[in-house]
Amino acid sequence: MADKSTTLSIFTADVGGLVGHVSSHPEVVDNARERLSSAKGKGVISDYHVLRCGDDLELLLTHENGTDDREIHQLVWNTFVSCREIAQELKLYAWSRGLLEEFAGNLRGLGPGVAELEFTERSSEPVVIFFANKTSTGAWNLPLYRIFADPFNTAGLISDPAMLDGFTFTVHDIKENREISLKTPEEMHLLLALAGSTCRYIITSVSRNTGGETAAVISSQKYDIIGGKPGAKCEPALIVRCQSGFPAVGEVMEAFSLPHLVSGWMRGSHAGPLMPVPFYEANPTRFDGPPRVISAGFQITDGHLIGPHDMFDDPSFDEARKTANKVTDYMRRHGPFQPHRLSEAEMEYSSMPIVFDRIKNRFRKL
Ligand code: F6R
Ligand code: MG
């Protein structure tokens, strides 16, 4: 299968929570598996895997159709819709919020998160996929910087000749809807000047300066605003290719040893630590959090997903989890005060404007 290209497509959607926004229901997850198993049987996709992080359902597909393929997006849409029907029967929480009507050929903008990567499989293709819950896509900025531009994290940047030339980061300015490519190590300071603003500048993909191959891609934006109010929303996902000229698996994982502060958590309005957890601990209960990240490692072999390995199911991440719990206590003691509570600008998707509206006429001019 040397030169045939494989597409890895991952999709995330919240089709209803058990209990509240904490988890999903086994029947919903099983239904997704059955649907995708049948599509695999018919040859529509090469392989699939279904995961869950918090109340988000995660579908992982491999196929030969390339990115943004109508048939694949239709399959995923139908799968999510049938999962939502089960969630509706069980009256799972907020089942109606995750998907917007109506499908017209592509899932982007309809609620689900979408991250797709088409590549020619190397002789061995290790890939690590991350799913987070109760946060937004800006959460990947810091780890992506550390993985692909920080030699204190990634030893290979200085010791692997194939990585010496560094990586190019594509950064999306979500306020002005424009993007820029910045090359590291040369433009590292410019990259950091932007990527530190995690609510505005989002690193969306990373590619090798030598050869231009894509090494990492994140899922598309988190919220769709309908009539000024939040519509469907999705949680962020990230695909990273590893080894042989890309960062080693362990260098990718190392970037999550610091449970860095991210936006999201309770009501999408608080800063809190991103806690790396095994699959079975991806249940954000304390103050609807703290935000979680899970990681699934696969070898992609002739289009098949060999795995997953539950990457954070490792005692070497116990300290990160402990730190996250300490930071959780510390941040929570700030209650409604910034910087635990996000700035008004970052809270624009919440109902705070309605609350402020109630007192707007009581302000006296100074
Ligand atoms: C954050 C999240 C939860 C909810 C919170 C209120 O992403 O999903 O923290 O925002 O539980 O939920 P509603 O508004 O559904 O009562
Ligand atoms: Mg939810």
- d(CA 282, CA 295) in angstroms, rounded, equals 11
Residues in the chain with pLDDT < 50?
A: 1-2, 222-232
What pLDDT was estimated at residue 105?
82
Ligand 1, residue 94: give the atom nearest the CA: 15
- d(CA 70, CA 331) in angstroms, rounded, equals 44
What pLDDT was estimated at residue 350?
65
Q: Which of 25, 24, 81 is nearest to 56 (CA)?
A: 24
If you take atom 13 of ligand 1, which residue's CA is the nearest one? 267
Q: 194-218: per-residue pLDDT in tens?
A: 999 998 999 999 999 999 999 999 9
Ligand 1, residue 20: give the atom nearest the CA: 11
Distance 41 CA to ligand 2 centre (A): 31
Two tokens at 282?
């991806």
Two tokens at 98?
């995750």
Beta-bridge partners for 295: 130
Q: Are 133 and 54 in contact (CB under 8 A)?
A: yes
> Residue 147 carries which side chain, given as an amino acid letter?
I
Q: Are 149 and 184 in contact (CB under 8 A)?
A: yes
Distance 21 CA to ligand 1 centre (A): 6
Ligand 1 near 20 CB (within 6 A): yes
The alpha-helical segments, DSSP class H, found in 203-336 are 249-254, 318-332
Task: Concatenate the DSSP letters of all residues of 35-99 into one string.
Answer: HHHHHHHTTS-SEEEEEEETTEEEEEEEESS-TT-HHHHHHHHHHHHHHHHHHHHTT-BTTTSS-
**Is the torsion defined by CA of 150, 154, 157, 163 positive or negative?**
negative
What pLDDT was estimated at residue 339?
97
Ligand 1 near 250 CB (within 6 A): no
| Cis ω for the linkage preceding 102 (within 30 of 0) | yes
Task: State phi, psi for 180 to the nearest 5 degrees.
Answer: -140, 145
Beta strands in 113-246 (DSSP E): 113-120, 126-133, 167-173, 178-183, 201-208, 214-218, 223-226, 229-233, 237-241
Cβ neighbours of residue 109 closer than 8 Å, sequence gap 6 or more: 100, 224
Q: Are 29 and 330 in contact (CB under 8 A)?
A: no
CA atoms within 13 A on the CB side of 317: 24
> Residue 327 carries which side chain, given as an amino acid letter?
V
Maximum Cα–Cα distance for the chain, whole Å? 73
Beta-bridge partners for 118: 7
Q: Are 124 and 40 in contact (CB under 8 A)?
A: no
What pLDDT was estimated at residue 307?
98
Instruction: Sketch the domain layout of the chain as residue ranges.
Output: 5-362
Q: Which of 170, 317, 154, 159 is nearest to 249 (CA)?
A: 154
Best of 288, 292, 350, 355 to mutate for ligand 1, by most ligand atoms within 8 A of CB?
A: 288
Beta-bridge partners for 229: 226
What pLDDT was estimated at residue 227?
43
pTM: 0.96
CA 105 to chain centre: 22
Q: Closest ligand to 230 CA?
A: 1
Q: Which residues surround ligand 2, an ion (CB under 5 A)?
A: 14, 21, 55
Question: What angle do helix axes 141-149 and 188-195 make, rounded to 10 degrees?
Answer: 170
